[in-house]
């Protein structure tokens, strides 16, 4: 229970009665915060989402952490979420954002067995587009410091790691095509396939991105603005490619199906080219797909990270060790080269989403949140 405190001082939580263990020492928690909220369902992020202030800072439950967000990750699927496509029964308003890096500023009593106030964590949990987020302690991973690079791991890197491990069948000499290879998740599919001894091909949209792909081991970058992807694949890989890590959809999906080798495997992790449409889809040649797959004994498999959460923690642990050991490049794009400069503050999430859909980013798009807080308890 809360003990009454003199006016102007901070209330103290009595741990012998209280459900929450809130250690306020040095945490400077305000009463209210800003956050992004989906207020209408739409694939147009600016129409769907509202920046609200004066939202109460949530309290953690017994097994929860309250994290002050320092960096948050932007994903192509944020607009699928704002359109209500992941859960058609969802009712507005609801919070948005999938991942972040920040410091623990309060925690539940059970969560205090593993975490402490002031600890830096990376996490995957709904509602990260906020100054503060409550999440289960089980959804967090301790990290060495508040670096934006850690935001690349909870969604983008784990998606690449688990999907390729479970569905890719990678081995020495496997030919792997990664579409949107210089993007948030493509960069990891590229590196993980290369480390498995594969020959890796990556599509991208600029010479700068091609140079980045070469720097992380890409054997054949294809800048599709200067080289037709289909022509390159037919001429240089006449027997096809064994695995495709595909996130673009539409015409790129059709091209990738045509490029599959005998017993080739195409892994669908997204179809970003259609997300901004009313249906969320871009047209593909579905009518010919059965014949094409049968002809090659090939397969198309979908991968959605939420269906592999039993493997998530082991994947995060492995990726964190790789990064700590210098074996993984975690490229981030903080918007420094965008027209209005670096993405700082929740209001810049709107710009960051636009920037992503214009195909401007190299690496994972990350938004930095201000260190300052106001309206102290």
pLDDT tens across 307-341, in order? 999 999 999 999 999 999 999 999 999 999 999 99
pLDDT of res. 165: 98
| DSSP secondary structure string for all residues of 192-253 | HHHHTT-EEEEEESSHHHHHHHHHTT-SEEEETTTS-HHHHHHHH-TT-EEEEEE-S-THHH
- The SS3 assignment for 212 reads helix
Same domain, 175 and 301: yes
Which band of pLDDT confidence, cut at 50, 70 and 90, is reported for residue 13? Answer: very low
Measured over the CA atoms of residue 70, residue 76, residue 82 and residue 87, the dihedral's sign is negative
Average pLDDT over residues 128-148: 97
Which band of pLDDT confidence, cut at 50, 70 and 90, is reported for residue 29? Answer: confident
Is 17 part of any domain? no
Measured CA angle at 356 (ends 143, 124), to 5 deg = 30
Same domain, 245 and 120: no
pLDDT of res. 376: 37
Same domain, 264 and 348: no
Alpha carbon distance 153, 361 (integer Å): 17
> Residue 6: is its pLDDT beyond 90?
no
Is 231 part of any domain? yes
Same domain, 244 and 126: no
Calculate what percentage of the chain has a pLDDT beyond 90.
Answer: 88
pTM above 0.75, yes or no: yes
pLDDT of res. 28: 73
Which band of pLDDT confidence, cut at 50, 70 and 90, is reported for residue 371? Answer: low
Same domain, 241 and 208: yes
Average pLDDT over residues 202-214: 98
CATH code of the domain containing 115: 3.90.180.10
Structure tokens at 333: 């794009």
Is 12 part of any domain? no
CATH code of the domain containing 204: 3.40.50.720
Structure tokens at 233: 């694949």
Alpha carbon distance 127, 75 (integer Å): 13
Q: Into how many domains does the chain fold? A: 2
Can you give the residue range of the structural domain that contains 182? 156-307
Is 315 part of any domain? no
> Residue 273: is its pLDDT beyond 70?
yes
Closest by Cα among 158, 97, 138 to 304: 158
Average pLDDT over residues 109-119: 93
Backbone angles phi, psi at 79, to 5 degrees: -80, -20
Same domain, 356 and 297: no
pLDDT of res. 27: 56
> Residue 272: is its pLDDT beyond 70?
yes
Same domain, 271 and 287: yes
> Residue 113: is its pLDDT beyond 80?
yes
pLDDT of res. 370: 77
The answer to whether residues 309 and 139 touch, using CB atoms and an 8 Å cutoff, is no
Same domain, 148 and 176: no
pLDDT tens across 243-270, in order? 999 999 999 999 999 999 999 999 999 9
pLDDT tens across 154-198, in order? 999 999 999 999 999 999 999 999 999 999 999 999 999 999 999
Same domain, 163 and 281: yes
Average pLDDT over residues 72-90: 93
Backbone angles phi, psi at 312, to 5 degrees: -65, -50
Is 87 part of any domain? yes
Is 322 part of any domain? no
Is 19 part of any domain? no
The answer to whether residues 72 and 367 touch, using CB atoms and an 8 Å cutoff, is yes
Average pLDDT over residues 77-87: 94
Is 376 part of any domain? no
Same domain, 233 and 211: yes
Same domain, 169 and 49: no
Which band of pLDDT confidence, cut at 50, 70 and 90, is reported for residue 16? Answer: very low
Same domain, 212 and 260: yes
> Residue 143: is its pLDDT beyond 90?
yes
Which band of pLDDT confidence, cut at 50, 70 and 90, is reported for residue 9? Answer: very low
> What is the CB-side half-sphere exposure of residue 299 using CA atoms within 13 A?
9
> Residue 21: is its pLDDT beyond 80?
no
Facing residues of 55 across strands?
Answer: 33
> What is the CB-side half-sphere exposure of residue 324 using CA atoms within 13 A?
10
Facing residues of 73 across strands?
Answer: 366
């Amino acid at each position: 229970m809360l003990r009454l405190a003199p006016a102007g001082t901070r209330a103290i939580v009595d741990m012998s009665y209280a459900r929450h263990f809130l250690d306020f020492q040095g945490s400077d928690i305000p009463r209210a915060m800003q956050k992004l909220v989906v207020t209408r369902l739409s694939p147009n992020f600016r129409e769907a989402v509202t920046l609200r202030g004066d939202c109460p800072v949530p309290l953690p439950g017994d097994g929860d952490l309250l994290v002050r967000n320092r960096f948050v990750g932007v994903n192509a699927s944020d607009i699928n979420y704002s359109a209500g496509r992941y859960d058609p029964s969802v009712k507005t308003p609801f919070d948005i954002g999938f991942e972040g890096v920040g410091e623990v500023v309060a925690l539940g009593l059970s969560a205090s067995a593993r975490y402490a106030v002031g600890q830096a964590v990376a996490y995957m949990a709904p509602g990260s587009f906020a100054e503060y987020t409550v999440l289960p302690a089980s959804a967090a991973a301790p990290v060495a410091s508040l670096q934006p690079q850690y935001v690349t791991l909870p969604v983008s890197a784990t998606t690449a790691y688990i999907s390729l491990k479970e569905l890719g069948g990678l081995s020495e000499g496997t030919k792997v095509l990664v579409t949107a290879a210089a993007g948030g998740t493509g960069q990891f599919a590229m590196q993980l396939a290369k480390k498995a001894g594969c020959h890796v091909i990556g599509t991208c949209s600029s010479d700068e991105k091609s140079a980045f792909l070469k720097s992380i081991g890409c054997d054949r970058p294809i800048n599709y603005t200067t080289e037709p992807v289909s022509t390159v694949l037919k001429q240089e890989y006449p027997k096809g490619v064994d695995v495709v890590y595909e996130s673009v959809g539409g015409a790129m999906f059709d091209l990738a199906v045509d490029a599959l080798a005998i017993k080739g495997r195409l892994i669908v992790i997204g179809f970003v080219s259609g997300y901004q449409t009313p249906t969320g889809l871009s047209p593909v040649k579905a009518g010919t797909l059965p014949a094409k797959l049968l002809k090659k004994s090939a397969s198309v498999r979908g991968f959605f990270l939420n269906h592999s959460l039993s493997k998530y923690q082991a994947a995060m642990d492995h990726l964190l060790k790789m990064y700590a050991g210098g074996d993984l490049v975690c490229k981030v794009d903080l918007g420094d080269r965008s027209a209005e400069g670096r993405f700082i503050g929740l209001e810049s999430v709107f710009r960051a989403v636009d920037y992503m859909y214009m195909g401007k980013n190299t690496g994972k798009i990350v938004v930095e949140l201000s260190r300052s807080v106001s309206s102290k308890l």
